[in-house]
Amino acid sequence: MHSNLVSFIQVLRSRDVRVSPAESLDAVDVAATLGYSNRSLLRDGLAMTLAKTPEEEVIFLQCFDRFFHCELADFNPADSPQTTDQDEPPPAPGSGGDAQAQDGDPGDEVSPLEIAARDNPILQSLLQSPLMQSLVQNDRNELTVAMTQAAEQVGLQQIQMFTQKGQFTRKILDALGEEHIRNAVIALERAGDPALVEVQRYRDILREQVRDYVEREYLLHAEGKTRQFMDEILSKTRLNNIEHMYLHKVHELVRKMAKKLVSRHSRKRRHLKRGQLNMAKTMRKGIPTDGVMFNTYWRQVRKEKPQILAICDVSGSVAAYAKFLLLFLHSLQDVL
């Protein structure tokens, strides 16, 4: 679970939530102390450790609910049309005696694919694979865990662009062992086997669930990375070349620059130099008491507030740069 927590912290950082390495270690200690059984308790504990402002707390809660949201995928083909049952008529009452004897209990449900596999070596080989067994039994826990492990194996958390969704979908399917189903579909299609429709249905359900999983992970991991990528591009683009549709992003970048500048060069608190006596001030304050220095005063550093005078040319040739400068000054004033 520590790896999942580290991935969650990376998601927070991609959304401009400041998390230092020391805070990451504190989060690991909090998770180890509180445990993962109580979701609400873990969320509140991590929020107190990682979120430092109300804005960061809102982002944290949104990311926590999306990152630790566990929804079991449903691989049940019950909603699909049962073409296999329509193509193959039900056996006569006398012909199903052997099958019922093998099942032992007439109430046990046997899938049409398992019935067709009794005389088909291709289906028998396919049903021996763990993936196909889980699909036929609709083992949602096993399939969801296998899909999550396959995603970690192929590095789905590193997805950044929407063009990578198809690539990661194929990698996850290969890691799950979908190749066996794909080869069986080709063999059944060449043989003209009526069980082809049933196998294709399981294959399509598997692909659909994997695509949905990749889509959710893309929205979670790539959203912040895409925004950082766009911010980096805009920060390196000439002001004259920025289109109007991206001006709102420029406002956000300018505000971030102003906050960074203020935090780096803002006026610091005065700090006393203990041990260095300010003799002149001490003697001056002792004049009312006939020179008796009842109160001692220490040297202290005074950092004057900087005075900035901005001269801006508003001619048309430098209109974009003048607008940027004025926007920066207004953002700086708002931050201060």
pLDDT at 158 over 90: no
Q: How many domains does the chain have?
A: 2
Which of the residue ranges 85-94, 102-111, 281-290 has the most confident prediction, judged by mean pLDDT? Answer: 281-290
The whole-number pLDDT of residue 196 equals: 84
Does residue 45 belong to any structural domain of this protein? yes
Position 133 in a domain? yes
Same-domain check for residues 9 and 34: yes
Q: What count of Cα atoms within 13 Å lies in the side-chain half-sphere of residue 139?
A: 13
On the question of pLDDT at 82 being above 60, the answer is no
Q: In the predicted model, what is the mean pLDDT of residues 243-254?
A: 69
Same domain, 62 and 84: no
- 84 and 21 share a domain? no
Domain boundary among 166, 200, 234: 234
- Asked if the structure places residue 268 within a domain, the reply is no
Query: Quick one: 36 and 84 in the same domain?
Result: no
Across the range 53-74, mean pLDDT stands at: 82
What percentage of residues in the chain have a pLDDT greater than 70?
73
Mean pLDDT (whole number) for 98-126: 61
In a domain, 140, yes or no: yes
**Residues ≥6 apart with Cβ < 8 Å to 199:** 113, 123, 126, 181, 184, 185, 188
Looking at 199, 234, 269, which one is the last position of a domain?
Answer: 234
The pLDDT value given to residue 299: 77
Asked if residue 23 belongs to a domain, the reply is yes
Tokens of 216: 């959710």
Pair (35, 85) in one structural domain: no
The answer on 181 and 112 residing in a single domain is yes
Question: What tokens does 116 get?
Answer: 């067709």
Winning range, highest mean pLDDT, from 137-141, 171-175, 238-242, 316-320: 171-175
Q: Are residues 169 and 49 in the same domain?
A: no
pLDDT at res. 86: 43
Same domain for 63 and 196? no
Examine the domain organization and report whether 86 and 188 are in the same domain: yes
Range(s) of the domain holding residue 58? 2-67
Within a domain: 259:
no
Within 10 angstroms of residue 76's Cβ, the number of other Cβ atoms is 12
- Taking only the tens place, the pLDDT of each residue in 317-326 is 777 777 777 7
Spatial separation of the C-alpha atoms in residues 267 and 200, rounded to whole Å: 69
> In this predicted structure, what is the pLDDT of residue 81?
43
pLDDT at 170 over 90: yes
Do 52 and 177 sit in the same domain of this protein? no
Q: What is the pLDDT of residue 91?
A: 47
* pLDDT for the residue 270: 56
In which band, very low, low, confident or very high, does the pLDDT at 88 lie, cut at 50, 70 and 90?
very low
Q: Has residue 74 been placed in a domain?
A: no
Same domain, 86 and 220: yes
In a domain, 293, yes or no: no
pLDDT above 90 as % of the chain:
10
| One domain, residues 158 and 224 | yes
